[in-house]
Amino acid sequence: MLDTLLFILIVLPFLAGLGCYVLRAEGVRSLIVVATGGILAAASVMLYFQTPFTYPVEASVQATLFGVSLDEIIMVADFLLLAVILYFGVRHKNAIIVALAILQGALGAYLEFGLIEHAPKAYPTFVIDTLALVMVLIISIVGSLICVFAIPYMKEHEHHLHLPASKQPRFFLVLVAFLGAMNGLVMANDLAYFYFFFEVTTLCSFLLIGHDETEIATKNAVRALWMNSLGGAALMIGIVWIYSELGTLEIAKVISQQHTSAAMLVALGLLCFAGFTKAAQMPFQSWLLGAMVAPTPVSALLHSSTMVKAGVYLVVRFAPAYADTNLGLAVALCGAFTFLGTAALAVGQSNGKKILAYSTISNLGLIVACAGIGTPTAITAAILIIIFHAVSKGLLFLCVGTIEHGIGSRDIEDMRGVYGKMPVTALITMAGVVTMILPPFGMLLGKWMAIESSAGSLFVIVMLALGSAITVLYWARWAGGLMSVEGGEKFKTESQAALTRAPLMILCFGAVVLSFLAPWIYSDMVVPLIKLSPYAVAAGGLQSGAGSFAVIPLFIVGLIGFGVAINALRKARSSHAFDAPYMAGIQSPAVAGAYTGPMNKPVVVTTGNYYLSAVFGEEKLTPYGNFAAIALLVLMFALGGLF
C-alpha cells in the first residue's frame, strides 16, 4: 500500500510525462494528463489517511525501485543531472553555470566516494509527516489542476504562435514530471535524495521557462539556471558540511535538535541560502520575474505548488534546527525584508503576472520570516500561509492566463472593465484577490498569526506592518479595476472550455472552503507536526493568549453581509436607474465613456492606477533592495557563524 502510494506520487508523474512525450497524439496526452492528475490527487488524499509514517517502515530495510537499490539510482541520476546542467551551461556559454555544475559534481563525488561510509543506512528514506503531507496535497491537487488547465491553454497558446510542429509533448513531459520531483523532494528524509529532487526542479524550471525558445525566454531561463545552481551549490556545500559535522544525511536527525555551534549554523545558513534562491528571495527575485515569459500554467505551477515552495519548504523544514538562534533571527530579517521589498516593487507594476510574481515572493518572504522566528505560532503561520497561498495564487495565475487569452493582454490597466467581457472569470479573479488579502480567509489568518508571533521582534514587525499595508494597495486596485464598467449591463454568461473552467472553479471553491476549514486544518495538520497546540480551537475560532480569530463566526457574519449585498446588487440591477459617471457635467451624449472637451470634441476618459514610479519603480527600488538584501545575507552568515 505505502510503496504503491509513494510510487504513484513520485514515479508515476515521470512515467506519465514520458507517456506524453512518446504518445504524441493530443487526445492521448489530454487523457494521460487528466488521468495522472486524478490519480495523483486521489493518492495524495489517501496519503492523508496514512500520515504520519516512514518508508521503509523498518528503518533497516533499504528502499528499492524495480529491485534496484534506490540509493544507487539516485546517485547515478544525480551525476547525470549535473552533466545535463553542465551541458546546458556550455551550450548557453554561461561560465557560472559550468563552474557551479563542476563544483557540485566534485563535491558530490567527494561526498559519495570520500566521506560516506557505504553501510546500509539505518534510517528511513522517506518520512511523511504532516508538513510533507501538506506539501504533497498541494502539489498533487493544485499542481494537477494547473496541469489540466494547461491542456486547453497550451492548445490556444500554440495556436497564437503558429508553430510548425507542436512542442507540447516535451512541455507536458517536464510539467508533469515536475510534480513527481516535488513530491519526492518533500517526502525525502535523506539529504542526498533531497538534493537530487532539488536539482530536478531546477532543471525542470529551466526547461519550462525556456520553453518558447524566444531570445528573452532563453535568456531568462539561463538566469534562472545560474541562480538556482548557486543555491544548488550552497545546498551541496551545506550537505557536505552537515555530514562532516553530524555524520549523517538524515533530515529527521538534523532537525531533531537545536544547533548552536557556529559550524552547524553556517551549514544550516547555507541550506537556507539554497532555499532563498529557490524561493526567489531578494536579491534573487529576478529569476522568478524572468520566469514570467513562460506560458502561464508554468508560472502558476512554479508559484503556487512547486519550485518556489521547495525553497520555503527547505527553510521551514529545517527551522527547528536553527530555532532561537541568531541565524533564525537573521532568516526572519531576510524574509521580512523580502516581504516588504517585493511588496513595494509590486506597487510599481502594471503587468499582472509581474504583480503576481512579486506578491508570491513577498508571501514567501513572510513564510521565511515565520520560519526564522521559529516559535510554534510562527511555524503554524508558515504552514497555513503555504497552504492558502498555493490555492489562491494558483487560482490567480490561471485567472490571468484566462483573461490574457480573452483580451490579449496581461496588463492590469487593460483588464479594466474585464467584468463587461468575461464576467465569470472576473468574478473568480475578484474572489481570488479577496481570499488573498481579506479576513476571514486563510491568507489573512496566516498573516495575522505571522504578525502576532513576530510582535516580539522589532525590525521584523515594522517590516511586516509596512509590507502588509502595501500589499492591500496593489491587490485592491486591481480588483476594483476589473469591475470598472459603465452602467449595469446584464450579467452575460461566458463560454469557456470545461478544462479551463473546472480548475478555476475548483480552486476558487477550494480557496473559500479551505479557509472555512482553517481551524480543523490547524488541528489536523499543524498540531501533530509541532507537537504543541499554541492555539485553542473553540467556537470555530483559534485563540491563544496573545489573540483570537473567530474564523467561523466571521464567516457566518460575512456570509450574511454578502447575501444582503448581493441582494442589493440584484435590486439595483433590476431597477435600471443607471446614471452616467460624474464627469463635471459634460458627459458626451453620443460617445460612451467620453466627455465633450476642448473645441467641442469628445475626449475619451481613461484612468490609470498610481504606480508611484518615483519611489516604487522597479529600476529605482531594485538596486537599493538588492543591496540591502545582500547585506542582510552577509549579516546572516556573520550572525550565524560568529556570534
Partner 1 sequence: MIDHIEDITAETLIGKVEALKKEGYRLVTMTATDLDAETVDLLYSFDKDLALMHLRLSAKKNAPAKSISGVYFAAFLVENEIREQFGLTFEGLVLDFGGALLLEDSVRPTPLCRYTVVEAKPEAPVAGA
Partner 2 sequence: MLDSFIKKSRIKSPWLLHFDCGSCNGCDIETLACLTPLYDVERFGIINVGNPKHADILLVTGCVNHRNKHVLKTIYDQMPEPKVVVAIGACGLTGGVFRDAYNVVGGVDKVIPVDVYVPGCPGKPEAIIDGVVEALGKLSEKQNAAAAAVAAE
Partner 3 sequence: MPRTVVPFGPQHPVLPEPIHLTLHCEDEIIKEAVPAIGYVHRGLEKLAEIRDHNQMVQVVERVCGICSMIHAAAYCAAVEQILGIKPPPRAEYLRVVWSELHRMHSHLLWLGLYADAFGFESLFMHFWRIRERIMDVMEATAGNRVIISVNVVGGVRRDLTPEQQKWVLSEVDWVEKEVARLKDVMMNDYTVKKRTVGVGILSKEQALELGAAGPMLRGSGVAQDMRMTGYHAYGELGFEPVVETDGDSYARSNVRFREVLAAVDLVRQAMAKLPDSELATAYKGRPKGEAVMRVEQPRGELLYYVKSSGGKYLDRVRIRTPTFANIPPLCAVLPGLELADIPVVVLSMDPCISCTER
In the list 493, 495, 575, 607, the residue contacting partner 3 (rule: CB under 8 A) is 607
Q: Which does 611 bind (CB under 5 to 8 A by kind): partner 2, partner 1, partner 3, none?
A: partner 3
Beta-carbon-side half-sphere exposure of residue 483 (alpha carbons within 13 Å): 11
By CB under 8 A, residue 612 contacts partner 3 = yes
- 35 versus 580: smaller Cβ distance to partner 2: 580
- Cβ 399 to partner 3, closest distance in Å? 21
- Cβ 601 to partner 2, closest distance in Å? 13
Q: What angle do CA 274, 458, 469 make, to 5 degrees?
A: 80
SS3 call for 326: helix
- 562 versus 610: smaller Cβ distance to partner 3: 610
122 C-beta neighbours (distance < 10 Å), count:
9
- 114 versus 585: smaller Cβ distance to partner 2: 585
Question: Mask: binding to partner 3, 168-207, rule CB under 8 A, as x and -?
Answer: ----------------------------------------
Beta-carbon-side half-sphere exposure of residue 171 (alpha carbons within 13 Å): 27
By CB under 8 A, residue 565 contacts partner 2 = no
By CB under 8 A, residue 493 contacts partner 2 = no
In the list 119, 215, 614, 619, the residue contacting partner 3 (rule: CB under 8 A) is 614
User: How far, in Å, CA of 63 to CA of 65, rounded?
Assistant: 7
Region binding partner 2 by CB under 8 A among candidate stretches 29-37, 115-123, 475-483, 577-585: 577-585
Q: Is 408 left (phi over 0), alpha (psi -120 to 50) or beta?
A: left
SS3 call for 128: strand
Q: Which does 117 bind (CB under 5 to 8 A by kind): partner 3, partner 2, partner 1, none?
A: none
- 540 versus 602: smaller Cβ distance to partner 3: 602
Beta-carbon-side half-sphere exposure of residue 474 (alpha carbons within 13 Å): 29
Q: What is the CA radius of gyration of the chain?
A: 25
By CB under 8 A, residue 585 contacts partner 1 = no
By CB under 8 A, residue 484 contacts partner 3 = no
- Cβ 217 to partner 1, closest distance in Å? 48
- 117 versus 579: smaller Cβ distance to partner 2: 579
Q: Which does 579 bind (CB under 5 to 8 A by kind): partner 3, partner 1, partner 2, none?
A: partner 2
Question: Which of 399, 605, 576 has its CA nearest to residue 504?
Answer: 399
36 C-beta neighbours (distance < 10 Å), count:
26
Question: Mask: binding to partner 2, 581-610, rule CB under 8 A, as x and -?
Answer: -x--xxx--------x--------------
- Cβ 586 to partner 3, closest distance in Å? 6
Ranges within 293-352 binding partner 3 (CB under 8 A) = 350
Region binding partner 1 by CB under 8 A among candidate stretches 182-190, 252-260, 531-539, 594-602: 594-602
- 572 versus 586: smaller Cβ distance to partner 3: 586
Going from the C-alpha of 303 to that of each of 84, 93, 157, 298, the distances in angstroms are: 24, 28, 20, 8
By CB under 8 A, residue 458 contacts partner 1 = no
- 165 versus 577: smaller Cβ distance to partner 2: 577
Residue 89's DSSP bridge partners are none
Going from the C-alpha of 161 to that of each of 1, 420, 556, 637, the distances in angstroms are: 45, 27, 48, 47
- 27 versus 598: smaller Cβ distance to partner 1: 598
Residue 64's DSSP bridge partners are 69
- Cβ 606 to partner 3, closest distance in Å? 5
Please answer whether residues 383 and 282 qualify as being in contact, where contact means their C-beta atoms are separated by less than 8 angstroms. Answer: no
| Binding-residue total with partner 3 (CB under 8 A) | 22
Q: Which does 575 bind (CB under 5 to 8 A by kind): partner 2, partner 1, partner 3, none?
A: partner 2
Residue 511's DSSP bridge partners are none
Q: Which residue has the cell 528573452?
A: 216
| Binding-residue total with partner 2 (CB under 8 A) | 9
- Cβ 601 to partner 1, closest distance in Å? 8
Q: Which does 577 bind (CB under 5 to 8 A by kind): partner 1, partner 3, partner 2, none?
A: partner 2
603 C-beta neighbours (distance < 10 Å), count:
16
- 483 versus 638: smaller Cβ distance to partner 3: 483
**Burial of 469 by CB count in 10 Å (0-12 exposed, 13-18 middle, 19+ buried)?**
exposed
Phi, psi (5° rounding) for residue 25?
-65, 140
Region binding partner 1 by CB under 8 A among candidate stretches 147-155, 168-176, 282-290, 593-601: 593-601
Ranges within 595-614 binding partner 1 (CB under 8 A) = 598-600
- 577 versus 599: smaller Cβ distance to partner 1: 599
DSSP state of 537: E
User: How far, in Å, CA of 332 to CA of 350, rounded?
Assistant: 29
324 C-beta neighbours (distance < 10 Å), count:
13
User: How far, in Å, CA of 615 to CA of 596, rounded?
Assistant: 35
- 1 versus 599: smaller Cβ distance to partner 1: 599
- 218 versus 350: smaller Cβ distance to partner 3: 350
Please answer whether residues 436 and 475 qualify as being in contact, where contact means their C-beta atoms are separated by less than 8 angstroms. Answer: yes
Q: Which residue has the cell 520553453?
A: 211
Q: Which residue has the cell 521565511?
A: 368
Region binding partner 3 by CB under 8 A among candidate stretches 73-81, 418-426, 520-528, 602-610: 602-610
Region binding partner 2 by CB under 8 A among candidate stretches 36-44, 376-384, 451-459, 571-579: 571-579
By CB under 8 A, residue 575 contacts partner 2 = yes
Q: Provide the sign of the torsion angle of the four alpha carbons 86, 92, 95, 100, taken in this order.
A: negative
Question: Mask: binding to partner 3, 560-589, rule CB under 8 A, as x and -?
Answer: -----------------------xxxx---
Give the containing element (helix H, strand E) for 233: helix 215-246
By CB under 8 A, residue 554 contacts partner 3 = no
Helix axes 144-161, 168-187, angle to 10 degrees: 160
* 447 residue type, one letter: K
Question: Which of 284, 367, 267 has its CA nearest to residue 327?
Answer: 267
- Cβ 490 to partner 2, closest distance in Å? 18
Please answer whether residues 181 and 187 qualify as being in contact, where contact means their C-beta atoms are separated by less than 8 angstroms. Answer: no
Please answer whether residues 420 and 413 qualify as being in contact, where contact means their C-beta atoms are separated by less than 8 angstroms. Answer: no
Which positions lie near partner 3, rule CB under 8 A? 350, 413, 583-586, 595, 597-599, 603-614
Which positions lie near partner 1, rule CB under 8 A? 598-600
Which positions lie near partner 2, rule CB under 8 A? 575, 577, 579-580, 582, 585-587, 596
